[in-house]
Homo-oligomer: A and B are copies of this chain.
Amino acid sequence: MEKPIMLPREKVLRDPVHNYIHVTHQVILDLINTSEFQRLRRIKQLGASSYTFHGAEHSRFTHCVGVYEITRQICNNFQRNYPSKTPEDHLWHDDEERLVALCAALLHDIGHGPYSHTFEHIFGTDHEAITRQILTSPETEVNQVLRGVSPDFPEKVASVIGKTYADPQVVQMISSQIDADRMDYLLRDAYNTGTKYGMFDLTRILRVMRPYRHGIAFEASGMHAVEDYIVCRFQMYQQVYFHPVSRSMEVILDHLLHRAKYLYEHGQLNHEQTPTLLVPFLEDDFTLQDYLRLDDGVLTTYFTLWRDHPDDILRDLTSRFLDRRPLKSVRFTPETRDLLPHLQELIEAAGFNPQYYTAVNDSYDLPYDAYDPSSKEPKTQIELMEQDGTLEELSTVSPIVAAITGKSTGDERFFFPREMIHPEELQLFEPLYQEFQTYLRNDCLVDPRA
């Protein structure tokens, strides 16, 4: 018997950010209940950020249902206020587009694994490719549910996520500079970290969104709500996502996985410490099913085992990660970059292998950009629509947005062991440490001879 499209009665999930997530389609409920989607409960949304903001322990599951909910609200608004009546009016076609939009919203992040950024760096995985695979490969439960809608439905949903879908309104709901994805994660991360930077006026933004020929625009009267969102986003990047302590924990994670791989390749990860579920990745020969077995707990379980490994570096780095003992860091500039080799010498002289105990890491984000056809990946700019239909790009009317448009912001940091500045007492007055300290001032690298 074919399942009906709509649930006999709406179901809700209680959500701290949106109050309730409303599920009205059987397909959405079935997707949430797949093994691949439930796995997202075991992967933290913000990875190492919970080491800086202890409340930030929420999973990718919560974010994904939140993106779905915002998308649902956008569809409701579009359907109520801008239903298409003629083929040429470029308004909203709810019957055709709602379900594909909702599924794409729910599934847009399903390919993520544990600590994706770092994991991908070490093992060469690609969460976007895997998202596509989960949607289109017949072996997954997700694909099976999507195929139940129609044979070409999995491909349609994948093309929305891949931004090649024909209707730009649907694509921009999920992927643009002000989409359901970004709006949910800003609100959710702000809620869970306890910071207030990410709190913008979602209801007002949803009210001023409207479909038009080339996608989604915003009524000009809502300019300040959109401006505020851009500033919130900017602030969250500066204050939360780029926090040096979180980045330092990612550096440790990167180095410890790197060390594990090195040891594996040299036959030194074995017996009880063999990370069974990681072997396909260490061997660079993994299947989709191998990938779907991974989660945050799998990594930390192996780290717990590696705490007893004979290799000093692996043992020490896993302890630093599990026990949250971050590296220290300092900002540097192109001018002071030349000082780094000498600092690494000092660090090596203090007994630390620089390859595993130092790092250079930059965090840059483009808070907003206008459309630039010469860019490799031109961004959909934010368009404001006047009462008479005229469009204006956001940064042309907001001096605040103009100030950060097209400028990447962030910093480049050098990471080093805390022991260099908080050594055991006796060492404190040794020349080595004293010299090291002369290079640091006001969280910046400085040339003491200058």
Task: List the interface of chain A (C-beta within 8 A of B).
Answer: 1, 9-10, 12-17, 19-20, 33-35, 38-39, 41-42, 50, 53-55, 57-59, 61-62, 65, 81, 191-197, 199-201, 203, 207, 220, 224, 227-228, 231, 234-235, 238-239, 272, 276-277, 293, 295-301, 304-305, 319, 322-325, 386-388, 390, 399-400, 402-404, 407, 409, 425, 441-443
Contacts and interface: CB of A to CB of B under 8 A. Distances in A.
Contacts of A199: 196, 199
12 contacts: A12-B207, A14-B53, A14-B54, A54-B59, A54-B61, A57-B57, A197-B201, A231-B400, A298-B301, A388-B441, A399-B404, A402-B403
A204 to B, nearest CB: 8
A17 B200 CA distance: 17
Contact of A35 (B300, B322, B399): B322
Contact of A38 (B53, B324, B442): B324
A387 B297 contact: no
Contacts of A400: 231, 234, 400, 403-404
A194 B13 CA distance: 10
Number of copies: 4
A194 B10 CA distance: 19
A239 B55 CA distance: 23
The 4 A-B residue pairs whose C-beta atoms are closest, nearest first, are A297-B297, A403-B403, A16-B194, A16-B55
B191 A195 contact: no
A234 B201 CA distance: 16
Contact of A57 (B35, B58, B442): B58
A247 B197 CA distance: 30
Contacts of A9: 81
Given A38-B324, A295-B300, A400-B403, 12 more contacts: A12-B207, A13-B54, A14-B195, A41-B57, A57-B57, A57-B58, A196-B199, A197-B228, A293-B304, A297-B298, A297-B299, A399-B404
A248 B386 CA distance: 22
A308 to B, nearest CB: 9
Contacts of A59: 54, 57
Contacts of A296: 297
Given A54-B13, A324-B33, A386 B442 contact: yes
Contacts of A207: 12, 20
Contacts of A299: 297
A178 to B, nearest CB: 16
Nearest to A16: B194
B54 A65 contact: yes
A42 B234 contact: no
A367 B272 CA distance: 47
Nearest to A302: B301
Contact of A387 (B1, B61, B443): B443
Contacts of A300: 42, 295, 297-298
Contacts of A54: 13-15, 41, 59, 61-62, 65
A304 B277 contact: yes
A349 B101 CA distance: 44
Centre residue among A57, A192, A197, A238 by max chain B CB count within 10 A: A57
Contacts of A227: 235
